[in-house]
Amino acid sequence: MGALRDFKALFTRHGTGVGIFVVVAITLWVFVLIVLPQLAMVDMSFSHNLPPADQGGPRDVYTLSNYGYFVQGNDGSFNSLHVTILVKTVVASVIVTFLDLILCYPIAYVLAHGASKSTARLMMIGLIVPFWVNEVLRAFAFRILFGATGLVNGLGLSLGLWDQPVDFIREDVALYAGLTYAYILLMIFPIYNAVEALDRNQIEAARDMGASWWRVHWRIVIPMAKPGIASGTTMVFMLTTGALAAPQILGGPSNLWFTQLVYQWFNDAGNWPRGSAYAVILVAVSILFTLLMMRVFKVGIGAIGR
């Protein structure tokens, strides 16, 4: 009912032409570019990997073998490699999401209530301008930064923090740093939008009554920021689990991201049904994480989408 009222208000406020354009654009975007491809991928995930001549024939029937392979493999034994890769990807994505939250919450608060308008604009520019550079180039920049002869090792050696270059690539330090930086804006802006609506007088009243800063944030700011935190953590987690360029460039030789498995099934093995099944598994994990964040922060899907 709420959505229907919003559409009626859209037609009333902006006219029939604009209303029809917006409805058609949203329909094309949601159904043609998102829903239909996802449904096609789900349908393909239940298919056999058949040559074109056999597709549509008697052998072209639905099967659960692609999902079964993820759990058991071809020989029927537990497919520990792929399950472990998925678990490691999820755990790493949670860590990156947590790091982004710890870094971005103070920045978002300062932007909303701790800085003057001119300083906030300069901080915004400083945050946005680096993202004009392509994601792949930023990943290579982090690889150079954390390389054996990079700036981080150079400073560590010159300051005597370690005696020989540290392999930050193999230890996945560069990967975590690169992914944390890659999606930092997607955490800052939702929290900023939520915290900006907070009345400054509430914070000043709490301070006048003797509340410490941590108590002000815990009892006043964070409850107001919950929708932004839920939105930011959801977006950062989903994009981190779905990242491909950064794990390929910054990941160590023993760290395989789950999206790389999906890429290998589609492009290297040419097994689109199995690649679709793995992609569906990844989408399901992202949806479960979104539902978990909604439950943890006690917010609805509407609050996350604001």
Query: Rounded distance, CA 101 to CA 97, Å?
Result: 6
Residue 268 sits in a domain whose CATH number is: 1.10.3720.10
**For residue 171, which phi and psi values (nearest 5 degrees)?**
-85, 0
What are the backbone dihedrals phi and psi of residue 302, each rounded to the nearest 5 degrees, phi first? -65, -40
Q: Is position 3 within any domain?
A: yes
Greatest Cα pair distance in the chain: 78
| Cα–Cα dist 104/169, whole Å | 25
Residue 242 CB coordination number (10 Å): 17
Same domain, 93 and 19: no
- Coil vs helix vs strand at 235: helix
How confident is the model at residue 67, as a pLDDT? Answer: 94
Q: Contact, 286 vs 238, CB < 8 A?
A: yes
What amino acid is encoded at 62 in this protein? Answer: Y
- 14 shares its domain with 104: no
Domain membership of residue 68 (yes or no) is no
Task: Evaluate whether residue 70 is within a structural domain.
Answer: no
Q: Is residue 37 located within the same domain as residue 84?
A: no
Q: Are 191 and 105 in contact (CB under 8 A)?
A: yes
Per-residue pLDDT of the chain (306 residues; tens, 9 = 90+): 555 666 677 677 777 787 788 888 888 988 988 899 999 999 999 999 988 878 778 888 899 999 999 998 777 788 899 999 999 999 999 999 999 999 999 999 999 887 788 888 898 899 899 888 888 999 999 999 999 889 999 999 999 999 899 999 888 899 999 999 999 999 999 999 999 888 888 888 888 888 888 888 888 898 889 989 999 999 999 999 999 999 999 987 677 899 999 999 999 899 999 999 999 999 999 999 988 888 888 777 666 666
Give the 3-state secondary structure of residue 141: helix
Q: Which residues contact 112 (CB under 8 A, 6 or more apart)?
A: 192, 195, 196, 198
Q: How far apart are CA 143 and CA 153, in angstroms?
A: 12
Q: At what angle do helices 80-109 and 272-297 cross, to 10 degrees?
A: 40
Q: In the numeric block, which tokens belong to residue 210? A: 């003797």
Residue-wise pLDDT for 153-212, tens only, equals 999 999 999 989 999 988 889 999 999 999 999 999 999 999 988 888 888 888 888 888
Residue corresponding to tokens 């794990």: 247
Domain presence at residue 62: no
Question: Do 39 and 167 have their domain in common?
Answer: no
Q: What is the dihedral of CA 209, 210, 216, 219, to 10 degrees?
A: -70
Clarify whether residues 274 and 195 are in a common domain: yes
Same domain, 38 and 151: no
Q: Which two tokens stand for residue 239?
A: 């994009």
Same structural domain, 134 and 206:
yes
Residues 150, 271: one domain? yes
- Give the count of beta carbons closer than 10 Å to the beta carbon of residue 297: 20
Please report whether residue 273 resides in a domain: yes
Q: Are 21 and 86 contained in the same domain?
A: no
Structural domain for 96, as ranges: 80-304
| Whether 298 and 160 share a structural domain | yes
Alpha helices in 73-221 (DSSP H): 80-109, 117-128, 135-145, 151-158, 173-182, 184-196, 200-208, 213-216
Domain contains 60: no
Residues 159 and 116 in one domain: yes
d(CA 146, CA 168) in angstroms, rounded, equals 6
The rounded distance, in Å, linking the Cα atoms of 280 and 69 is 14
Q: Is 116 helix (H, G, I), strand (E, B) or coil?
A: coil
Q: What is the pTM for the complete model shown?
A: 0.87
Instruction: Specify whether 12 is located in the same domain as 125.
Output: no
Total tally of structural domains belonging to the chain: 2
d(CA 54, CA 58): 8
287 falls within a domain: yes
